Amino acid sequence: MKTTIIGFPRIGENRELKFATEKYFRNELTISELTDFARELRQKHWELIKQSGIDGIPSNDFSFYDTTLDTACLLNIIPQEVKTLNLTESEKYFALARGYQGEKGDIKARPMKKWFNTNYHYIVPKIEKGTSIFVSGDKIFKEYHEAKVLGIETRPVIIGPYTLLQLSEFELGTDQQRITDELIAAYKEIFERLGALGAEWIQLDEPSLVKDVTTEELAEFKAIYEKLLTEPQIKVLLQTYFGDIRDAYETVIALPFDGIGLDFVEGRKTLELVKQGFPKDKLLFAGIVNGKNIWRNNYQQTIEALKEIESERLVLTTSCSLLHVPFTTENETFSAEINQHFAFAKEKLAELVDIADILTGAKDVLQVNQKLFAESRFTENHAVQEKINALTEKDYTRQPTFEQRETIQKSAFDYPVLPTTTIGSFPQTREVKLTRAKYKRQEISEEAYDQFIAQQINDWLEWQEKIGLDVLVHGEFERNDMVEYFGQNLSGYLFSKNGWVQSYGTRGVKPPIIWGDVAREKPITVKWSTYAQKQTDKIVKGMLTGPVTILNWSFPREDISLKDSTLQIALAIQEEVLDLEKNGIRVIQIDEAALREKLPLRKTDWYSEYLDWSIPAFRLVHSKVQAATQIHTHMCYSEFTDIIPAIDQMDADVISFEASRSNLGILDELKQQHFRTAVGPGVYDIHSPRVPAVNEIKQTIHKILAKVPLEKVWINPDCGLKTRGIPETTASLTNMTEAVKQVREEL
C-alpha cells in the first residue's frame, strides 16, 4: 500500500519563507540569498516527508508567492506591460504578485482571487491577444532535478491546463483555440523534459472539475487531454480536490491517465462514483486524510470506506494539498489531552503511513485512534445543545416586518437624507498595536491600557462629530482581529501558538479552533460600545462579527455539522446583541465579511447545502431586537451579485459593501431584483492610500442616486479603515462628508 500527499506547506515550520521573502522585499536579502534559503527549505521538507515514510513525494509545490503565478511564468503568460519593463525575471514575478513602483516603471499588481473554497489566494493569470504560450521558465525542471541530486525521487506538480484556462482572464478578442493548442504543446514539452530528466510521474491539478461542469466545458477538457495524453513520456496523475467530480467522472475514467486522484473527504459523491466502477489499469489516489482541517483522522471510518473500494491499485493520499493546514502540532502548548486530537501537516504524514500499515496488517494503531473518538469531549455544553434543539421558525424571524420597521426607524432616528457612517475600524497605528501587545504581555496595567483605549475613542468620536458624520463608531482599537477577538471571549474556542496557514504571498492567518460547544461567557463588546455611546449625543454603532464569518475563519469541528456550530455561535452573538440593546446601543452592525467563503463550489448546491442555514443563522442573531433597533451588516466586495435574494433574506435594515471597484455595476442588479434592504455602496476605495476629491465622491453619489431611491441610500467608505494611515483617512472622510453636504443642498 503506497502513500503520497498532494502538496506540503511551503512557508516552513516557523514561517521562515515569509520572513526571508519580506527581507528580500526590504532589500535586506539579495535574490540569490533568498534562492539559497528556499533551496534549503525545500530540502528540509522533502527529507521530512521522506523520513515520515511517505512514498510519493511532490515537488514544484513550493512557491515564493503562488503556484498559479509560477505556472503562468513557466508558460510565458506575462502581460505585455510587465514584459516590456526592464526587470529581471524575479522582479517580474514579484511585480505580477505585488505591483512594482520604482525607477524602472509603475505597474499594478495582478488581481488576486480566493482559491476555490479556501482562504488561500491565487494571482489571476492574464492571457492577452498577443500572448504566446511556450515553456519559457524552468522552475519545475530545476526543482525536480534539485531533489534528484539529493537522492529524492519526486513527482512534479503543476496546475492542469483545463483549470489554468478556467482561472485565467482573457483579453477580449483573444484566439482561444490558438491559446489552447499552444498550451497543449507546452504541457507536452514539460512531459518530455521531465521524462528526460528521469521523472516517472507528473501530477496535474484540475480542481475546476469539482465545480458544475457544462457539456461544452467537458468537451473542452476531453479535447485537451485526448491530445495531451497521446504517447506521454511520463505517467500522468490527474489530481482533483475540494469536492467530487460527478459531472466529469465518466469522461475522466475513459481517458488514458495512469492515476486519478479523488477527494473522499469533501467529495460527497466520490465513493458512490468509484463504486460504480473504476478502471483496473489505473491507480486510484484516494484522498482520505483531510488536507483542510486539523483534526485527527478517524482510522476506523477511513478503513471502512476504503474497504468499499475494490481497486487493488490504491494509493493513499490527502484530500487536498496540506498547504491549507499549519505545519506541526509539536510546537504547540496545548495539554497532551487536547493535542492528541490534532493533526497538522506533519502529523498527517504519519496518519497516512498509519492507515497504510493498518490495511496491510503491519502495525496496529487502530485502538489508540479509536479511543479518541469513543470518548465524548469534555467541553460539551448541554444547555447550548438544548437551546439549538428547541429553536423554531419564530427564532429565525424578526418581527415586525422589514417595511414596518422601516417606518418606525424613520421617525425614531430622524436621520438627514444620505446618512453618513463608516464601517467600524479606524487606523490601527503602530502605537495602538504596540499598546495592545504590551497589555497582552502584562507590561502595562489594565488601568493604563483602558485609559489608552478610552482616549483613542474620545479623540476619534470628537473628530467624527466635528466632520459631521451621522452614525459614529468607537473605532475597534481594542481588537486584534475581527474573529480572534470574539473567539477569545467565547467558551469552546482554542488558539494555537503557531498554527499559521498561508493566505496569500507572505501573509498568513492563524485560524482559531472550535474545540467544543460555543457559548458566550461574558459580555464582549458592551464595555467599549457603551463607553463610546456615553461620550456623545450622536448615535454610536455597536460592532460585531457575524456567526458565519466567525465560523468560516475558524477550524470547524468535524463531530457536529457546520450548521450546528454556526447556530451555537449565532446564539452567543445574539446574547451580545441583546446586551448591547439593553445598554442603550440603538444601531448594531453585524459584519459578515466571509459569508461567501464556504459557498459550495457547485452552484446547484448553494441553496440546499449552505444558504439554507447560514442566512437563517444570521437572522437568529438579531431576530429578538426591538423594531426601533437598527441592524446593519457589512460585506467586503460586492461579491453577492449572484445571491442577492439571499442577502435580502438576512433581513438586516442596512447593508454596506464595497462597490467602488466594481464600478457600481451591482446597483443595476439590486434594482432589478427589488432589493429592499437600505444600502451603503462604499463611495471610495479604502484599499488604496489615494484620497478621493469632493467632486469625485459627489459624482459617485449621483451615480448611486440614479439607481437607488434616495431614502434607501447610506454614504460610507467601502470597508474598515484599520489598515490605513491617519492622514489619508481623515482627508478622505472629510471630503466624503463635504460631498454629502453639497449633494444635500443641491437636492
List residues binding ligand GLN (CB under 6 A): 423-425, 476, 482, 543, 591, 593, 634, 636, 719-720, 722
C-beta of 621 vs 636, nearer to Zn ion: 636
Within 8 A by CB and 6+ apart from 201, the residues are: 56, 155, 156, 234, 235, 236, 237, 258, 259
Cell 500522468 locates to: 236
Distance separating alpha carbons of residues 190 and 293, to the nearest angstrom: 33
Q: Is 114 annotated as a binding residue?
A: yes
Q: Is 553 assigned to a binding site? A: yes
184 near Zn ion (CB under 5 A): no
By C-beta, is 67 or 552 nearer to Zn ion?
552
204 binds Zn ion (CB under 5 A): no
Interaction partner, residue 591 (Zn ion, ligand GLN, none; CB < 5-8 Å by kind): ligand GLN
Asked if 595 touches Zn ion (CB under 5 A), the answer is no
| 234 close to 197: Cβ distance less than 8 angstroms | no
636 is in an annotated binding site: yes
721 near Zn ion, rule: CB under 5 A: no
Rounded Cα distance, 211 and 659, in Å: 27
The answer to whether the CB of 634 falls within 8 A of the CB of 593 is yes
Give the shortest CB-591-to-ligand GLN separation in angstroms.
5
- Our CB check for ligand GLN shows the closer of 241 and 528 to be 528
Q: Is 719 annotated as a binding residue?
A: yes
Residue 140 in marked binding region: no
Query: What is the amino acid identity at position 217?
Result: E
What is the C-alpha separation between 251 and 387, in angstroms, rounded?
47
Eight-state DSSP code of residue 415:
P
Question: Is residue 47 part of an annotated ligand binding site?
Answer: no
How far is the CA of 582 from the CAs of 439, 524, 577, in angstroms? Answer: 29, 14, 9
Is the Cα dihedral 140, 144, 146, 147 positive or negative?
positive
* Spatial separation of the C-alpha atoms in residues 55 and 444, rounded to whole Å: 52
What is residue 16's three-state secondary structure?
helix
Contacts of 426 (CB under 8 A, 6+ apart): 456, 460, 473, 475, 476, 477, 721, 722, 729
For Zn ion, the closer CB: 153 or 718: 718
Q: Is 476 labeled as ligand-binding?
A: yes
Which among 353, 238, 213 has a CA at the least distance from the CA of 289?
353
Interface segment toward Zn ion; rule CB under 5 A; list 22-30, 211-219, 310-318, 715-723: 715-723
Cell of 254: 475513459
Instruction: State in angstroms the smallest separation of the CB of 365 from ligand GLN.
Output: 43
Q: What is the 3-state secondary structure (H, E, C) of 568-612?
A: HHHHHHHHHHHHHHHCCCCEEEEECCCCCCCCCCCHHHHHHHCHH
In the bound complex, what is the minimum distance in angstroms from residue 666's beta carbon to Zn ion?
Answer: 15
Closer to ligand GLN by Cβ: residue 153 or 476? 476
Residue 293, strand partner residues:
none
Q: 656 touches which of Zn ion, ligand GLN, none (CB within 5 to 8 A by kind)?
A: none
In the complex with ligand GLN, which residue's Cβ is closer, 163 or 589? Answer: 589
Name the CA radius of gyration of the chain, rounded: 27
- Transcribe 720-739 into DSSP letters: --TTS-HHHHHHHHHHHHHH
Active site residue 687: yes
Task: Provide the minimum distance between the beta carbon of 628 and ligand GLN in the complex, in angstroms, as a whole number.
Answer: 23
Of 719, 721, 740, 743, the residue at the interface with Zn ion (CB under 5 A) is 719
| Eight-state DSSP code of residue 381 | -
Residue nearest to ligand GLN (CB): 720
Q: Which of 45, 121, 687, 702 is catalytic?
A: 687
Residue 529 φ/ψ, nearest 5 degrees: -65, -45
Q: Which of Zn ion, ligand GLN, none is residue 153 near (CB under 5 to 8 Å by kind)? A: none
112 - beta bridge partners? 123
Helix (H, G, I), strand (E, B) or coil at 672: helix
Among Zn ion, ligand GLN, none, the one that 722 touches (CB under a kind-dependent 5 to 8 A) is: ligand GLN
Q: In what order do the strands lie in the sheet with 2-3?
A: 2-3, 314-318, 283-289, 259-263, 235-239, 201-205, 154-159, 57-59
Q: Is 424 annotated as a binding residue?
A: yes
Indicate which of Zn ion, ligand GLN, none lies near residue 543 (CB less than 5 to 8 Å, by partner kind): ligand GLN
For the bound state, the minimum distance from the C-beta of residue 112 to ligand GLN, rounded and expressed in Å, comes to: 15
Q: Which is nearer to ligand GLN, 237 or 721 (CB)?
A: 721
Residue 425 interacting partner from ligand GLN, Zn ion, none (CB closer than 5 to 8 Å by kind): ligand GLN
Residue 524 contact, options ligand GLN, Zn ion, none, Cβ 5-8 Å cut-off depending on partner type? none
CB of 526 vs ligand GLN, minimal distance in Å: 17
Using rule CB under 5 A, residue 543 touches Zn ion = no
Considering the complex, what minimum distance in angstroms separates the CB of residue 474 from ligand GLN?
11
423 among the known binding-site residues? yes
CB distance 242 to 605 below 8 Å = no
119 is in an annotated binding site: yes
Please report, as residue ranges, which positions from 610 to 669 form the binding site for Zn ion (by CB under 5 A): 636
Nearer to Zn ion, 66 or 639 (CB): 639
* Structural contact between residues 324 and 6, judged by C-beta atoms closer than 8 angstroms: no
Distance of closest approach, residue 550 Cβ to Zn ion, in angstroms = 15
Binding annotation for L-methionine = 423-425, 476, 591
Contact footprint for Zn ion (CB under 5 A): 636, 719
Binding annotation for L-homocysteine = 423-425, 476, 591
Binding annotation = 15-18, 114, 119, 423-425, 476, 553, 591, 597, 634, 636, 658, 719
Binding annotation for 5-methyltetrahydropteroyltri-L-glutamate = 15-18, 114, 119, 553, 597
Q: Which residues are catalytic?
A: 687
